[in-house]
Amino acid sequence: MTKKTDTVVIGAGPGGYVAAIRAAQLGQKVTVVEAEHVGGVCLNVGCIPSKALITAGHRYQEAQHSDFLGLKTKEVELDFEKTQKWKNEKVVKTLTSGVAMLLKKNGVTTIDGRARFVGKNTLEIETKKGKEKLDFKHAIIATGSRPIEIPGFKFGGRVLDSTGGLNLKEIPKKFAIIGGGIVGSELGGAYANLGSEVTIIEGTPSILPNFEADIQQMVTKNFKKNGINVFTGAKAKSAVEKGDKVVVEFEAKGKTEKVEVDYVMVTVGRKPNTDDLGLDKAGVQLNERNLVKVDEQYRTTQKNIFAIGDIVPGLALAHKASYEAKIAAEVIAGKNVAKDYRAIPSICFTDPEIATVGYTLAEAKEQGIKAKSVNFPMQANGRALSLNATEGFVRLVFEKDTELVLGAQIVGVNASDLIAEVTLAIESFLTLEDIALTIHGHPTLSEMVMDATEVGLGLPIHM
């Protein structure tokens, strides 16, 4: 017997579960089909568990190095099994079970299985009990992405993808990472803080290639300080397991290098999960990068089918997927909405933390905008001093004539939270003066955003 639903959502990650809940709130009968875990990559093996390990690394370092506060610890031990148990049970399980509860509370039916289109209004779902059919009026595809595997580094054994890197049972004495982008740099820093000797092998001239040079240099400086070996402009060649070790061969500066480690993790990017979905049978077209073609309402080439998240063009970010989810669900409900954002924040939880939004100064000038930028240093902020976290700055980019806020690059403690104010400013077409005239609490890190606007206005108090 074929089941029926108004809207089916394929995938229950930050895009899928948000789409399902919003569609249900707007009166749709909704079914979610999830092949692995509710919460998707982000909650189970991505954003959330990685931040848990990063936090553990920070706490471990603080426990060992707080003499300056008058805190003396004789011996600090790390029980990594307990760390992983906390990460999996108290962090990941709490969030994913919460999402499952929210789906149920909103009347969403969840099917554990793998979905494939067999027509523009029908899915075939493979479950543990067998195959079943589901007819739908509308569909939202939110199947996410998976790690890219490169030649010479077949996943398995001591060659890990990011999922394997997050679920190690012991802290590697020596750990190699292929790829110095956001994921590689975050986890490289985390494991270094937990006690690993880390080697990062990056193909481009610098780690974190999507950030500005001075930001890259600050993270590189901290990596060196923490004993992380960084090879840039390098090409990974192979990984060969030898007992309980793996030998990684790569080329750097014209020389062949080898490093023997306990594990090697490959984090060179991700590819969209658009294969094996039967998209051709549903009339859904892909572009040359195997991403689903969508319009401003996230409608595919088949008008009753929508796509969001990592499988559509644009940044592969969880918060972008959640934004797109709400648009798609509201369009299906008959609302006249479409994509309408000016900027998306990007965050990297390295040491120091990085958060950016909108234009850099160079990007603004490339667009023909007469722009300026100003910096305010963390070391001039009272709260940063009291946190012993004075490394970094708040940089604002603004239009020279109107003082309209165009972008920001924030480096340092709690950058991930501070970027929200500037994102709102960009979305709301605010000027430097608008922020400067807003009273900020004291003592807080957020005062640095206000201080930066006063520098831009030529009226700095704390510089």
In a domain, 341, yes or no: no
- What is the rounded end-to-end Cα distance, in angstroms, of the chain? 72
Tell me whether strands 393-399 and 371-377 are parallel, antiparallel or unpaired: antiparallel
Same domain for 91 and 232? no
134-179 pLDDT per residue, tens = 999 999 999 999 999 999 999 999 999 999 999 999 999 999 999 9
Judge whether 442 counts as a catalytic residue.
yes
Residue with tokens 């940063």: 384
Final residue of a domain: which of 308, 332, 356? 332
Same domain for 21 and 115? yes
Same domain for 7 and 129? yes
Residues in the chain: 463
State both tokens at 319. 């918060």
State both tokens at 57. 């690394």
Q: How confident is the model at residue 187 (pLDDT cuts 50, 70, 90)?
A: very high
State the Cα–Cα distance between residues 318 and 42, nearest whole angstrom: 7
State the Cα–Cα distance between residues 350 and 411, nearest whole angstrom: 10
Q: Is the pLDDT of residue 210 over 80?
A: yes
236-284 pLDDT per residue, tens = 999 999 999 999 999 999 999 999 999 999 999 999 999 999 999 999 9
Same domain for 283 and 239? no
In a domain, 64, yes or no: yes
Q: Is the pLDDT of residue 446 over 80?
A: yes
State both tokens at 162. 């990011």
377-430 pLDDT per residue, tens = 999 999 999 999 999 999 999 999 999 999 999 999 999 999 999 999 999 999
In a domain, 463, yes or no: no
pLDDT for 294: 98
SS3 341: coil
Q: Is the pLDDT of residue 1 over 80?
A: no
Final residue of a domain: which of 284, 304, 332? 332
Q: What are phi and psi of 263, to 5 degrees?
A: -145, 155
Same domain for 137 and 283? yes
| pLDDT over 90 percentage in the chain | 99
Same domain for 26 and 127? yes
Buried-state track 402-416, b at ≥16 Cβ within 10 A, e below 16: ebbbbbbbbbbbbbb
Same domain for 70 and 115? yes
In a domain, 340, yes or no: no
In a domain, 462, yes or no: no
pLDDT for 276: 94
In a domain, 153, yes or no: no
| Residue in 37, 319, 442, 462 annotated catalytic | 442
Q: Is the pLDDT of residue 54 over 90?
A: yes
User: Which CATH number goes with the domain that contains 367?
Assistant: 3.30.390.30
Q: How crowded is residue 367: how many other Cβ atoms within 10 Å of its Cβ?
A: 10
User: Could you tell me what percentage of the chain is helix, strand and coil, using 3-state DSSP and rounding each to the nearest 5?
Assistant: 35, 30, 40
State both tokens at 212. 């500005």
pLDDT for 142: 98
In a domain, 337, yes or no: no
Same domain for 367 and 412? yes
Same domain for 394 and 309? no
pLDDT for 2: 87
CB 246 within 8 A of CB 263: yes
Range of the domain at 418: 346-456
Same domain for 94 and 224? no
Same domain for 40 and 142? yes
One-character DSSP codes across 117-168 = EEETTEEEEEETTEEEEEEEEEEEE---EEEPP-TT--SBTTEE-HHHHHT-
pLDDT for 74: 85
Average pLDDT of every residue of the chain? 97
CB 270 within 8 A of CB 145: yes
SS3 242: strand
User: Which CATH number goes with the domain that contains 310?
Assistant: 3.50.50.60
Same domain for 68 and 190? no
In a domain, 461, yes or no: no
Mean pLDDT of the region 73-80: 93
Q: How many structural domains is the chain composed of?
A: 3
State both tokens at 452. 């930066």
Q: How confident is the model at residue 345 (pLDDT cuts 50, 70, 90)?
A: very high
CB 42 within 8 A of CB 99: no
Final residue of a domain: which of 268, 290, 318? 268
Residue with tokens 């579960």: 17
